[in-house]
Amino acid sequence: MRLLLIGPPGVGKGTQAKFLVNHFKIPQISTGDMLRENVQNNTALGTEANIYMKEGKLVPDTVILQMIKKRLNKNDCSNGYILDGFPRTEPQANGLDKLLKSLNQRLDCVMVMNIDDSMIINRLSNRRSCKNCNQVYNLLYDPPKTDDICDSCNVKLFLRDDDIPSTIKKRLIIYREQTEPVIEYYTKFGITKIIDSKGSIKDIKNNIIKIVTRI
């Protein structure tokens, strides 16, 4: 099963991807998580990527495509995977097509998630993450047991640099300009499914699983 989750930042792609990982036993491939790991480990890739990420801009396509090529060639991807946050531009979608052809693979489904911009700003500015275990919380919808402290690691949660409202607005503009055309790209292949993403996390999860098991 090769799935792609596409939608604006904060729509819940990462949360739903984690459910799908458990359900289908396939890895989540989040370019955002991979980049943040590189930033945290001070790699050359991380240092370059962080220049763009801090500003809410997209990391150059060549950097992303090289990173994805390495990742999809790993053994744990042989039974499928969930792409989360990639591709984000048409050149990335073209690059993925070429890569999939070379691996003799194809995508089974592109799930399109969307909600209103005001809801996105509200969700992202209340998102908090744990540096230690990467668990993501939302102070409004899925808060930790103790204010601002990770339930598992007992360390202080942090607000991502790119989740401050002025940067969220920039990321939304980039999403509309550069990522929405990717949805049209996949619509032509007839593999897109629209996921109503306004309901509860559980309702969205059940809806996604129902759709995916029908493929």
Catalytic positions: 13, 88, 127, 160, 171
For residue 35, the tally of other CB atoms under 10 A from its CB is 23
Longest CA pairwise span in the chain (Å): 48
93 touches ligand AMP by CB under 6 A: no
Alpha-carbon span 9 to 125, nearest angstrom: 11
Please list, residue by residue across 95-114, b when 16 or more beta carbons sit within 10 angstroms of its beta carbon and e when fewer do: bbeeeeeeeeeebebbbbbb
Q: Which is nearer to ligand AMP, 52 or 185 (CB)?
A: 52
Q: Does 171 bind ligand AMP (CB under 6 A)?
A: yes
Binder among 26, 85, 110, 112 for ligand AMP (CB under 6 A): 85
CB of 182 to ligand AMP, least distance (A): 10
Mark out the alpha helices in the chain (DSSP H runs). 13-24, 31-40, 44-53, 61-72, 90-103, 117-125, 165-174, 180-187, 201-213
* Contact status: 86 vs ligand AMP (CB under 6 A): yes
Q: Which of residues 23-62 bind ligand AMP (CB under 6 A)?
A: 31-32, 35, 52-53, 56-59
Q: Is residue 163 a contact point for ligand AMP (CB under 6 A)?
A: no
Does residue 16 bind ligand AMP (CB under 6 A)?
Answer: no
128 binds ligand AMP (CB under 6 A): no
Work out how close the CB of 13 gets to ligand AMP at its nearest, in angstroms, rounded to a whole number. Answer: 7
At residue 179, φ and ψ (nearest 5 deg) are -95, -35
**What are 67's two structure tokens?**
């990173």
Which position among 4, 28, 88, 208 is part of the footprint of ligand AMP (CB under 6 A)? 88
Q: Does 64 bind ligand AMP (CB under 6 A)?
A: yes
* Buried/exposed 167-195: b ≥16 CB within 10 Å, e otherwise: bbeebbebbeeebeebbebbeeeebbeeb
Q: Which residues pair with 158 in a beta bridge?
A: 129
Binding-site residue total for ligand AMP (CB under 6 A)? 17
Nearer to ligand AMP, 4 or 53 (CB): 53
CB closer to ligand AMP out of 192 and 206:
192
The pair of structure tokens assigned to 173 is 């503009």
Binding residues for ligand AMP, rule: CB under 6 A, are: 9, 31-32, 35, 52-53, 56-59, 64, 85-86, 88, 92, 162, 171
